[in-house]
Structure 1
């Protein structure tokens, strides 16, 4: 037992504390990844349920002044109205396959005078942040659209300046355009009639599990490796000290034997 007294040294106490903290951190980060995996699976199940439903009238799902229920995101809805092209808002810094572009958000004026913000899709640009002057026009006259319900963005990116923004918020856009808008917005799926030159439609989210499972295992592996390393080094030092102690004992025996012979 005396050979383990080195564990009471300051160096080993600090080493033990560092390994304990590292192991705890690795466990928490791994658990965080597995929690994210569960959240992603719940989100995927919700999206799949909503995608399989028939389109609902938009005013049964969205309304003025009421934020979108998270359970309704990616619900397919249908609306009929007229596009207010003059109030188009350009969403900058949108990329597709590594290429720069923008999204065009156009208010669809409904029969009751309220407006639904419709993200009509993506259009390529030459440079990041550029606002193109050649955005294709939406269909004229009365249009019936179907689209996926989305939740408003928040934060500084959602601010609107000169009908430009970096993220879509119906609250911010409605205030900037001085329009009464339904909360949330819609990523367009179909337009009837079709535009002469349609934009690229929204890319629906992947419904896989993502990397969270393997990230979680990696963090737990790192924690286990830290524990293994601690005990390996402990055993290595114990073995070295044991070997040194045995060598000292043998040397003492040899000296005693030599002195006896003399």
Structure 2
């Protein structure tokens, strides 16, 4: 019944089905890797919110280059670590990060270098402020940074992708992306290879700032894609088998759709018989 499967047409259809199913399985495995990676990130975010702060040097290596150089990026398992560090803010090199959204409003995040006792600096995201009247890109007045020693508690945030551009507008540095290596080139000291989202500060931070929320990655979307692609692979194989079975039954004269017609064509037995 199934000898026809050895014909070139059916062998070609089988090969195409197997390739399609293999690609779908591969896509499912790829989404599974993304699901696991995003799950790990979410777990680190949650752990960072709960943990007690550790010294900065336990999360990041100090920059070893000269002025304008960024240090090494933190290890992935150190991103979102809650750290504490003491230094002095350098408001003259504050960086305004435009086009940032908090509570559905577009404004600026304010990065101010915290200069440590050894002369290195750490970029601290002090929070979000709305733009000045006149539009989303109108530079706002920036709350004054505390003078003297400041103790910061915050979470390590890796540098953002994309080099971005850094402009100087109205005497202030301004950018769209927080690309630490690019920003370091504008600063007069070595800079740590990631920045810190401020959680707490002593002296207290200005209430004009709004905390920058940390969004969790949508890992369940990736898990849904895993199920989808693997289900498509099963459906492709099932579809090939179903079509092949129907063809075999038709060739053997067992096509159920023809049975009623065959019975109607048979003569009705006479009453005398």
1:111-141 superposed Cα distances (whole Å, 9 cap, x missing partner)? 33321101122234499x9433214314321
1:223 to 2:230 alignment: no
The structure 1 residue matched to 2:40, chosen from 33, 42, 62, is: 42
In the alignment, what sits opposite 1:5? 4
- Assess if the C-alpha contact under 8 Å between 1:34 and 1:216 holds in 2: yes
CA positional deviation for 1:176 = 1.6
**Match in the other structure for 1:187:** 197
Deviation digits for residues 66-109 of structure 1 (CA, Å, limit 9, x no counterpart): 32122211111122233222212222332235443332211112
> What TM-score, normalized by structure 1, do the two folds share?
0.79
Q: Superposition pairs for residues 1-262 of structure 1, below 5 Å?
A: 1=1, 4-5=3-4, 7-10=6-9, 12-62=10-60, 63-64=62-63, 65-125=71-131, 130-142=136-148, 143-157=150-164, 159-162=165-168, 163-206=173-216, 209-243=219-253
Deviates more, 1:20-29 or 1:201-210: 201-210
Bigger drift between 27-36 and 217-226 goes to 27-36
Moved more, 48-57 or 82-91: 48-57
- The aligned length equals 243
Looking at structure 2, the residues matched to 21 and 55 of structure 1 have their Cα atoms a distance apart, in angstroms, of 51
Q: Distance in 2 between the 1:75 and 1:6 partners?
A: 60
CA shift in 2, pair 1:102/1:7, >3 Å: farther
Q: Post-superposition shift, 1:216?
A: 0.7
**Relative contact order (C-alpha < 8 Å, sep 6+): which is higher?**
2
Secondary structure in 2 matching 1:203: coil
**2:34/2:219 contact within 8 Å kept:** no
After superposing the two structures, state which structure 1 stretch, 165-174 or 94-103, moved more.
94-103
Unpaired segments ≥5 residues, structure 1: 248-262
**CA root-mean-square deviation:** 3.0
Partner of 1:250: none
How many Å separate the matches in 1 of 2:55 and 2:120?
14
